[in-house]
Amino acid sequence: MKLKSCLTAFATLAVTTLLIAPAFAATPAEVYGKLFASQAEEVVSAAEAMPADKYNFVPTSGEFAGVRTFGQQITHIAEAQYFFFKGFGVKPAIDPEAIAKLTNKDDIVKALKDSYAFAEQAMKTITPQNAFEKIGSVDGTDTRASIAAFGLSHTNDHYGQMVVYLRLNGIIPPASRK
């Protein structure tokens, strides 16, 4: 009897899970949107934490010849958002090529925020039906899901560099203060 009760309970749970779980499953748009929103919070707060007079900072102790300044790290991230997600059917409100010429902290941070808004709009276009359809090659990736994943990875790399630049200037990144 006990075994039969356990099997009945397990079967009931399994059937209920199969019937109810899809109603609670996240869509690709929700998953990627949440990841990009979380990343945006960390990257933007790091960009805002660096004083304007340090946007030209480049580490000098060690092998850092030719690396991007702190400000260039941020403009690179912003430009990359437009590059990665240009094929998602969302139109940018600006000319992404103008971002590289920005030098003022306020303009750079605004461009970064705008690029995340653009990326988040692109994330909203990802559906279960189109997530893995090929839409064109972007740095070796070719589906909305793989491009979004690569975009997240790419920015995390540059965010790590931003964190080092902040710490070399005696600033604890906002995400590390929590």
- Kindly report, residue by residue over 22-38, the tens digit of the pLDDT: 556 788 999 999 999 99
Q: What is the pLDDT of residue 50?
A: 98
In a domain, 162, yes or no: yes
Q: What is the pLDDT of residue 64?
A: 87
Average pLDDT over residues 60-76: 93
Q: Is the CB of residue 131 less than 8 Å from the CB of residue 49?
A: no
In a domain, 11, yes or no: no
Tally the domains of the chain: 1
CATH number at residue 99: 1.20.120.450
User: One-letter amino acid identity for 158?
Assistant: H
Q: Distance (Å, rounded) from C-alpha 94 to C-alpha 117?
A: 12
In this predicted model, what pLDDT tens digit does every residue of 104-139 receive, in sequence order?
A: 999 999 999 999 999 999 999 999 999 999 998 888
> What pTM does this model have?
0.84
Q: What is the pLDDT of residue 23?
A: 58
Alpha helix ranges (H) inside 25-143 = 28-49, 70-85, 105-123
Specify the 3-state DSSP secondary structure of 134.
strand
Q: Which residues contact 118 (CB under 8 A, 6 or more apart)?
A: 81, 82, 85, 90, 92, 93
In a domain, 21, yes or no: no
Mean pLDDT over the full length of the chain: 88
Torsion angle, CA of 28/33/36/40, rounded to 10 degrees? 180
In a domain, 61, yes or no: yes
> Tokens 């276009």 label which residue?
125
Q: Is the CB of residue 151 less than 8 Å from the CB of residue 85?
A: yes
In a domain, 3, yes or no: no
Q: Is the CB of residue 23 less than 8 Å from the CB of residue 50?
A: no
In a domain, 32, yes or no: yes
Q: What is the pLDDT of residue 93?
A: 87
Which tops the pLDDT comparison, 140 or 1?
140
Q: What secondary structure letter does DSSP report for 127?
A: -
Task: Quote the domain boundaries for residue 75.
Answer: 26-177
Q: What is the pLDDT of residue 2?
A: 53
Q: What is the pLDDT of residue 4?
A: 47
In a domain, 5, yes or no: no
In a domain, 2, yes or no: no
The share of the chain scoring above pLDDT 90, in percent, equals 75
